[in-house]
């Protein structure tokens, strides 16, 4: 057919050309894409070709796909005060930077990191910069992160900084400049990693077509650099987090997993004899280094804020004794103050003999009398902001503002305070940002961006710069930096090279990696989380089953006659006994449907499925670095809303089944998995004992026994085994006594005891620990029980003993209050 | 000249015996102009060991106490004998003005805890506050002599605020005590410091003792049976640090014994730390400051 060629969709190259042409013909000034020439432009073109290929030419599709990849990886972030994580907004269009331009940035970052190191050495050491009049004392003491107890203390290895990050912007002349320095916690490198992963999955061909520099060497340098400072050759390194409510917890969890660090909270750690230990299921294990993501002032209540409850008492003493590496040294934040930027150009020249390769945006600290007068005169042409990150009285909301945008009242307030406390203010030049393309609807729009760049010190002390970092993109087209805020989009940053990246360089030297099958000792807190995650998931599933049996047998037409009222009453008792809902006013259908609805989705104090689901999610959040990404996604999925009550219950039940399948088939058989499975088994054993007890309270009817088999998911096994109708002894044998029924009680007990036998014990005397003894006692009791003699009393005893077993497991393995677990004769490793 | 014997006893009672405790003690009076430590003893019951601690955030003699045995009471008794010889400051016409003081502090080359630069900024327990700043500003004209202004503000606080131990707790923020126009020595010191710093002046928090029994014929001073707190204002390199007591509206002189100096209470709390236990903890403090002879 003749018209075929004309109808064929345009190829990716044409689409990419058209996108770029449309974009650059718009009102675009100083844009990364439109200013690109030669190989730079080719790189953008290639990127857009890949986007066109993967999205069939639709930018809206591309945007959706990028978001899906980011969601898949489980990236998320939290806004302070919010309970739920927000999805990480990832733009499908990466920022393309050529290697020459990048080299300039990387050199500038290294120079800056070295300069910061030298300044820190001085202000916490000899103090010559202040005594020699190079910087005023008030510039140092003004920072809330100037920590005097850290003075004259040499960190192990001698470095103040193991990593360094800075926010850069590109001004309209194409020059890169520094907007802010980050020395406390290099927040964001995990996001850079995740962005790259998402974009690499989406734009698979890009990496090899453009020789994109890889991230792995940077992270290897960070890890090896910290490890090189430790006293042991195979050190245990932790990432110290403030916990799951922290804004960037998802990033921290991801980073910990990628680096192979233990994700630990202050409560997991303990200092004994100036040595740091983590509480694990195998007792106290020594920690050699901590990459900290905790406010330094909260780190150690004995050295800094004595009210801190998230810190580790004695941590700084351990550091002072050279027994733990804290990275970065908890005093580096003093240089983050904007006021310091005012002195950096002069300090660079003096201390390195060179000008700053990456200049700051021009900054004036008003603590100097002449400078203050200058800022006051030029206020309308400047940005004015807090000098030390603390809101001064004249800028109540603590943010930098354009002098020209102040109202008369605001200006009066500001000038009055500027006269009294000039040291609290800096003036800054108003920078304009270059833009980059972002997919918006089905087209590209230009938006201003900033770039966060990361450097880490390798094992020889040399700096390694992450090629790329991540870009934050503003929502507002106004290019003035101050208006961008935190940005509302992020993008991967690709540094493309002329030569292929040597793949060998990414592989460790042969023989240097010690094989291991277990990711290291399990911290007690993680064991606790995994155990309770298992219990709650199983509890939710059991409750759902009761709800489904109740609904299915009382209202559905196709399952035949409704159950006898006495049997229905048992089901109702199971639900009310679990605290899932208030008892229904009657057993008629409408009342039961409302009752089931409350048990499924009730809000408030009730232990409804919804509430249990929420608990499971919160706990899963607390240990997400141990869970498969698919499990995290299922846990985070919103509560079902579509369809009728039975549909919603069914959809949820399928989700629970999927979670059970994932944990059974996809989780490596580590101790973390053992605790998860242990939790499931303990909960299921308790559920079975409880259900059987309720149904055996009086002589069970035929309906009772059928329903019980249904609840225990054992109807099919029963029918395969017994051709006759349902009778008490065979049913109880199958549900309670038969160790071959995977849904039965005996099977759970055997599984529990197998786990308890395999988990670490504290002593080597061969005597059973309390939780092992309790598990074996339950098994013994069950093994001699004959189905005919199993009654409500025996089941009640088993239920209680299982509760005590759970307590014994908690006491032995989990964190208990403030008291550190110290086993008798335990050797501290 | 005064000679004092001081006994400061702190007792912790634990409902459930504490497994072990680690504390910072900042109880031994520092070297400071006008006072001389003659004798010092620290006694801890049921015993423990002491270890060097990290450098204090302020000026303090800091000792780390480690008690490793399980105990249901912990008693820390600090005994000191001092000679205090500190003349009452007299404002002079050639005192530096507040404007001079603020500028000299900003240009200082001394970042140490003895220098003014460390005390120019808000600190964790003493944030700046608009209302306090405005109220204090009436006494803090930039052209006024520093000592004259300091005593005027201390006296106004003493006059306008009620001494009311029920009004505040140890962690009540200054703004709240200010709004209630009441509190104890710590509140008054914090309010005054907040006001001085809001005016750009270097002001420090002092923890110490006040003589318990007044000289014959004089009234007993407020705050004498516990640790006391007051304010130091740096008045330029020549005048140095000058102390005022806003609780009593008086200068720091021979009735005051300096124990430690910091940006606020958090830097120099006499005792802080952690103990490991599960029950409630109760703290009892007694302070006795006895003049040893009457020839001062």
Q: Which tens digit of pLDDT belongs to each residue from A564-607?
A: 888 889 999 999 988 999 999 988 888 888 999 999 998 877 89
- Establish if B28 belongs to a structural domain: yes
How does strand A425-428 pair with strand A363-365? antiparallel
Chain B hits for A130, Cβ within 8 Å: 109-111
Domain range for B124: 98-268
Tell me how far apart the alpha carbons of residues A426 and A366 are, in angstroms, rounded to a whole number.
6
Tokens of A65: 């796909």
Residue of B nearest to A152 (CA): B55
Q: Are A744 and A688 in contact (CB under 8 A)?
A: yes
pTM: 0.85
For residue range B39-97, what is the model confidence (pLDDT) as tens digits?
999 999 888 788 878 878 889 999 999 888 888 888 999 999 999 999 999 999 999 99
Residue of B nearest to A424 (CA): B121
Å between B56 CA and nearest CA of chain A: 6
Could B54 and A136 be called an inter-chain contact, meaning their C-beta atoms sit closer than 8 Å?
Answer: no
Could A151 and B55 be called an inter-chain contact, meaning their C-beta atoms sit closer than 8 Å?
Answer: yes
Chain A hits for B197, Cβ within 8 Å: 421
Q: Where in chain A is the domain with CATH 3.30.1490?
A: 362-428
Beta bridge partners of A455: A164, A465
Residues in Cβ contact with B61 at an 8 Å cutoff, skipping those fewer than 6 apart: B26, B27, B28, B29, B30, B260
Sheet containing B203-210: give its strands across.
B250-251, B241-245, B228-234, B203-210, B256-262
Same domain, yes or no, for B252 and B277? no
Same domain, yes or no, for B262 and B129? yes
Q: Are A637 and A648 in contact (CB under 8 A)?
A: no
Chain B hits for A319, Cβ within 8 Å: none
Residues in Cβ contact with A76 at an 8 Å cutoff, skipping those fewer than 6 apart: A85, A86, A87, A88, A250
Residues in Cβ contact with A614 at an 8 Å cutoff, skipping those fewer than 6 apart: none
Average pLDDT over residues A321-344: 93
Tell me how far CA of residue A638 lies from CA of A260, A613, A655, in angstroms: 30, 10, 11
A561 vs A67, higher pLDDT = A67
Q: How confident is the model at residue A233 (pLDDT cuts 50, 70, 90)?
A: confident
Average pLDDT over residues A231-235: 86
Tokens of A305: 């804020």
**Segment (H or E) for A808:** helix A792-813
Å between B219 CA and nearest CA of chain A: 37
Q: Which CATH number is B10's domain given?
A: 2.60.40.2250
Tell me how far apart the alpha carbons of residues A266 and A268 are, in angstroms, rounded to a whole number.
5
Check pLDDT > 50 for residue A827.
no
Q: Are A181 and A143 in contact (CB under 8 A)?
A: no
Check pLDDT > 60 for residue A517.
no
What's the pLDDT score for residue A504?
A: 46
Give me the residues of B, 255-284, that contact A with CB < 8 A: 266, 269, 272-274, 276-278
Same domain, yes or no, for B60 and B122? no
Residue A643: count of CB within 10 angstroms of its CB: 11
Tell me how far apart the alpha carbons of residues B241 and A85 are, in angstroms, rounded to a whole number.
51
Could A138 and B53 be called an inter-chain contact, meaning their C-beta atoms sit closer than 8 Å?
Answer: no
Average pLDDT over residues A83-99: 82
Check pLDDT > 70 for residue B36.
yes
Chain A hits for B276, Cβ within 8 Å: 818-820
The DSSP result for A657-699, as a single string, is HHHHHHHHHTS-SSHHHHHHHHHHHHHHHHHHHHHHHHHTSSP
Chain B hits for A369, Cβ within 8 Å: 103, 106
What's the pLDDT score for residue A552?
A: 77
Tokens of A505: 């360089």
Average pLDDT over residues A726-739: 92
Give me the residues of B, 59-118, that contact A with CB < 8 A: 64, 103, 105-111, 113, 115, 117-118
B109 vs A635, higher pLDDT = B109
- Establish if B90 belongs to a structural domain: no
Tokens of A783: 């093994």
Indicate the residue of B22, B121, B198 with minimum beta-carbon distance to A142: B121
Residue of A nearest to B123 (CA): A144
Indicate the residue of A148, A314, A420 with minimum beta-carbon distance to B57: A148
Chain B hits for A393, Cβ within 8 Å: 128, 130, 133, 198
For residue range B151-197, what is the model confidence (pLDDT) as tens digits?
999 999 999 999 988 888 888 899 999 999 999 999 999 999 999 99
Look-up: residue for tokens 């102390």?
Answer: B243
Residue of A nearest to B142 (CA): A420
Q: Are A323 and A275 in contact (CB under 8 A)?
A: yes
What's the pLDDT score for residue B280?
A: 72
Q: Are B147 and B89 in contact (CB under 8 A)?
A: yes
Tell me how far apart the alpha carbons of residues B10 and B76 are, in angstroms, rounded to a whole number.
5
Residues in Cβ contact with A132 at an 8 Å cutoff, skipping those fewer than 6 apart: none
Same domain, yes or no, for B124 and B17? no
Beta bridge partners of B128: none
Å between B181 CA and nearest CA of chain A: 22
**Directed axis angle between helix A59-73 and helix A189-202, to 10°?**
130
Å between A486 CA and nearest CA of chain B: 26
Give me the residues of B, 200-229, that contact A with CB < 8 A: 200
Could B115 and A303 be called an inter-chain contact, meaning their C-beta atoms sit closer than 8 Å?
Answer: no
Chain A hits for B133, Cβ within 8 Å: 393, 420
Residue of B nearest to A365 (CA): B106
For residue range A133-189, what is the model confidence (pLDDT) as tens digits?
999 999 999 999 999 988 888 888 889 999 999 999 999 889 999 999 999 887 788
Average pLDDT over residues A267-276: 89
- Mutation test of the interface with chain A: which of B103, B105, B122, B173, choosing the one with the most A Cβ atoms within 10 A? B122
Indicate the residue of A301, A819, A820 with minimum beta-carbon distance to B278: A819
A706 vs A308, higher pLDDT = A706
Q: Is the ipTM of this complex over 0.85?
A: yes
What's the pLDDT score for residue A182?
A: 93
Residue A829: count of CB within 10 angstroms of its CB: 12
Same domain, yes or no, for B240 and B285? no
Number of structural domains (chain B) is 2
Any idea which architecture A362-428 has in CATH? Answer: 2-Layer Sandwich (3.30)
Residue of B nearest to A142 (CA): B121
% helix, strand, coil for chain B, step of 5: 20, 40, 40
Same domain, yes or no, for B59 and B192? no
Same domain, yes or no, for B158 and B264? yes
Q: Are A702 and A689 in contact (CB under 8 A)?
A: no
Q: How confident is the model at residue A232 (pLDDT cuts 50, 70, 90)?
A: confident
Same domain, yes or no, for B71 and B198? no
Tell me how far apart the alpha carbons of residues A653 and A540 are, in angstroms, rounded to a whole number.
9
Could A423 and B121 be called an inter-chain contact, meaning their C-beta atoms sit closer than 8 Å?
Answer: yes
**Directed axis angle between helix A565-577 and helix A524-554, to 10°?**
160
Q: Which 8-state DSSP code applies to residue A184?
A: S
Chain B hits for A820, Cβ within 8 Å: 276
Residue of B nearest to A314 (CA): B22
Q: Are A490 and A643 in contact (CB under 8 A)?
A: no
Tell me how far apart the alpha carbons of residues A370 and A686 are, in angstroms, rounded to a whole number.
76
Residue B192 DSSP SS3: helix
Q: What is the signed CA dihedral for A519, A523, A524, A528, rounded to 10 degrees? A: -60
Could B106 and A388 be called an inter-chain contact, meaning their C-beta atoms sit closer than 8 Å?
Answer: no
What's the pLDDT score for residue A89?
A: 82
Could A137 and B121 be called an inter-chain contact, meaning their C-beta atoms sit closer than 8 Å?
Answer: no
Å between B94 CA and nearest CA of chain A: 22
Check pLDDT > 90 for residue A702.
no
Tell me how far apart the alpha carbons of residues A156 and A171 are, in angstroms, rounded to a whole number.
40
Tell me how far apart the alpha carbons of residues A802 and A816 are, in angstroms, rounded to a whole number.
20
**Segment (H or E) for B6:** strand B2-18
Per residue, the 3-state secondary structure of A687-741, as one string, reads: HHHHHHHHHCCCCCCHHHHHHHHHHCCCHHHHHHHCCCCCCHHHHHHHHHHCCCC
Burial class (CB in 10 A: 0-12, 13-18, 19+), A174: exposed
For residue range A194-228, what is the model confidence (pLDDT) as tens digits?
888 888 888 888 888 888 888 888 999 999 999 99
Tell me how far apart the alpha carbons of residues A778 and A784 are, in angstroms, rounded to a whole number.
10
- Establish if B296 belongs to a structural domain: no
Chain B hits for A424, Cβ within 8 Å: 121
What's the pLDDT score for residue A559?
A: 47
Indicate the residue of A138, A303, A314 with minimum beta-carbon distance to B105: A138
Length of chain A: 829
């Amino acid at each position: 057919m003749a018209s075929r060629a004309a109808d064929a969709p345009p190829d990716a190259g044409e689409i990419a050309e058209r996108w770029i042409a449309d974009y650059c013909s718009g009102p675009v000034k100083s844009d990364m894409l439109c200013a690109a020439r030669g190989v730079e432009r080719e790189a953008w073109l290639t990127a857009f070709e890949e986007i066109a290929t993967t999205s069939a030419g639709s930018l809206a599709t591309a945007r959706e796909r990028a978001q899906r990849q980011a969601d898949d990886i489980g990236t998320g972030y939290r806004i302070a005060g919010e309970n739920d994580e927000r999805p990480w907004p990832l733009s499908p269009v990466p920022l393309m930077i050529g290697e020459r331009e990048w080299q300039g940035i990387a050199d500038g970052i290294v120079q800056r990191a070295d300069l910061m190191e030298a300044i820190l050495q001085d202000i916490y050491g000899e103090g010559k910069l202040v005594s020699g009049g190079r910087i005023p004392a008030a510039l140092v003491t003004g920072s809330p992160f100037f920590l005097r107890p850290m003075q004259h203390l040499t960190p192990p290895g001698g470095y103040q900084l193991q990593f360094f990050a800075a926010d850069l912007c590109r001004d309209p002349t194409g020059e890169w400049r520094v907007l802010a320095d980050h020395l406390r916690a290099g927040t964001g490198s995990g996001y850079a990693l995740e962005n790259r992963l998402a974009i690499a999955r989406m734009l698979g061909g890009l990496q090899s077509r453009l020789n994109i520099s890889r991230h792995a060497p940077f992270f290897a340098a960070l890890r090896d650099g910290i490890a090189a400072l430790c006293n042991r050759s195979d050190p245990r390194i932790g990432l110290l987090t403030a916990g799951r409510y922290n804004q960037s917890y998802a990033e921290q969890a991801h980073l910990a997993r990628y680096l192979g660090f233990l994700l630990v909270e202050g409560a997991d750690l303990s200092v004994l004899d100036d040595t740091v230990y983590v509480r694990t299921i195998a007792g106290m294990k020594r920690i050699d280094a901590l990459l900290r993501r905790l406010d330094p002032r909260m780190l150690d209540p004995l050295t800094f804020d004595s009210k801190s409850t998230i810190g580790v008492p004695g941590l700084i003493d351990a550091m002072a004794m050279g027994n733990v590496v804290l990275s970065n040294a908890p005093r580096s934040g003093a240089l983050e103050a904007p006021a310091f930027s005012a002195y950096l150009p002069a300090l660079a020249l003096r201390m390195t003999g060179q000008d700053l390769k990456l200049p700051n945006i021009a900054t004036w600290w008003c603590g100097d009398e002449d400078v203050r007068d200058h800022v006051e005169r030029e206020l309308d042409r400047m940005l004015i902001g807090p000098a030390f990150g603390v809101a001064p009285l004249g800028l109540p909301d603590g943010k930098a503002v354009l002098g020209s945008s102040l109202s008369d009242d605001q200006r009066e307030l500001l000038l009055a305070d500027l006269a009294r406390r000039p040291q609290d203010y800096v003036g800054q030049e108003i920078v304009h940002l270059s833009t980059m393309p972002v997919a918006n609807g089905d087209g590209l729009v230009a938006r201003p961006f900033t770039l966060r760049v990361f450097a880490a010190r390798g094992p020889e002390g040399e700096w390694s710069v992450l090629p790329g970092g991540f870009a934050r993109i503003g929502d507002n087209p106004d290019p003035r930096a101050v208006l961008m805020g935190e940005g509302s989009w992020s993008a991967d940053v690709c540094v493309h090279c002329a030569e292929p990246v040597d793949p060998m360089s990414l592989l460790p030297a042969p023989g240097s990696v010690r094989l291991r099958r277990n990711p290291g000792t399990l911290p007690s807190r993680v064991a606790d989380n995994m155990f309770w995650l298992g219990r709650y998931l199983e509890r939710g599933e059991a409750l759902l089953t009761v709800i489904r049996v109740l609904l299915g047998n009382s209202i559905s037409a196709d399952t035949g006659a409704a159950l006898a009222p006495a049997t229905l009453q048992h089901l109702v008792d199971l639900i009310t006994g679990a605290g899932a809902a208030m008892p229904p006013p009657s057993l008629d259908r409408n009342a039961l449907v409302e009752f089931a609805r409350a048990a499924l989705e009730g809000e408030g104090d009730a232990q409804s499925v919804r509430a249990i689901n929420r608990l499971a999610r919160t706990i899963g959040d607390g240990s997400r670095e141990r869970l498969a990404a698919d499990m995290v996604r299922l846990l985070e999925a919103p509560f079902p809303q579509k369809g009728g009550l039975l549909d919603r219950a069914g959809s949820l039940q399928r989700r629970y089944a999927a979670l059970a399948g994932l944990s059974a088939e996809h989780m490596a058989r580590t101790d973390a998995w053992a605790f998860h499975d242990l939790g499931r088994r303990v909960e299921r054993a308790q559920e079975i004992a409880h259900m059987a007890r309720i149904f055996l309270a009086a002589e069970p009817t035929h309906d009772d026994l059928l329903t019980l088999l249904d609840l225990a998911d054992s109807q099919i096994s029963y029918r395969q085994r017994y051709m006759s109708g349902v009778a008490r002894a065979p049913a109880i044998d199958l549900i309670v006594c038969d160790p071959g029924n995977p849904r039965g009680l005996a099977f759970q007990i055997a599984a529990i005891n197998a786990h308890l036998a395999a988990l670490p014990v504290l002593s080597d005397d061969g005597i059973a620990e309390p939780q092992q003894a309790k598990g074996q006692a339950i098994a013994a009791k069950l093994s001699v029980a004959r189905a005919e003699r199993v009654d409500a009393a025996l089941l009640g005893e088993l239920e209680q003993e299982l509760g005590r077993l759970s307590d014994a497991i908690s006491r032995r393995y989990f964190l208990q209050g403030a008291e550190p677990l110290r086993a008798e004769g335990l050797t501290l490793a | 000249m005064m000679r004092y014997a001081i006994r400061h006893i702190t007792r912790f009672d634990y409902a459930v015996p504490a497994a072990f405790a680690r504390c910072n003690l900042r109880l031994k009076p520092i070297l400071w102009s006008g006072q001389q430590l003659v004798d010092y003893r620290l006694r801890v019951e049921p015993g423990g060991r002491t270890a060097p601690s990290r450098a204090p955030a302020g000026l303090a003699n800091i000792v780390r106490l480690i008690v490793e045995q399980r105990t249901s009471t912990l008693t820390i008794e600090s005994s000191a004998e001092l000679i205090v010889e500190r003349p009452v400051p007299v404002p002079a016409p050639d005192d530096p003005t507040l404007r001079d003081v603020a500028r000299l502090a900003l240009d200082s080359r001394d970042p140490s805890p003895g220098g003014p630069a460390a005390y120019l900024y808000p600190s964790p327990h003493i944030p700046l506050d608009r209302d306090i700043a405005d109220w204090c500003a009436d006494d803090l004209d930039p052209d006024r002599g520093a000592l004259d202004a300091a005593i005027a503000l201390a006296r106004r606080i003493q006059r306008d605020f009620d001494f009311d131990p029920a009004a505040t707790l140890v962690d009540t923020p200054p703004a709240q005590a200010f709004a209630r126009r009441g509190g104890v020595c710590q509140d008054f010191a914090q309010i005054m410091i907040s006001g001085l710093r809001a005016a750009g002046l270097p002001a420090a928090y002092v923890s110490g003792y006040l003589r318990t029994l007044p000289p014959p014929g004089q009234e007993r001073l407020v705050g004498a049976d516990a640790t006391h707190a007051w304010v130091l204002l740096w008045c330029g390199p020549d005048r140095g640090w000058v102390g005022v007591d806003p609780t009593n509206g008086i200068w720091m002189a021979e009735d005051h014994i300096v124990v430690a100096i910091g940006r606020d209470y958090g830097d120099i709390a006499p005792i802080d730390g952690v103990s490991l236990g599960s029950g409630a903890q109760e703290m009892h403090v007694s302070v006795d400051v006895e003049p040893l002879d009457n020839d001062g």
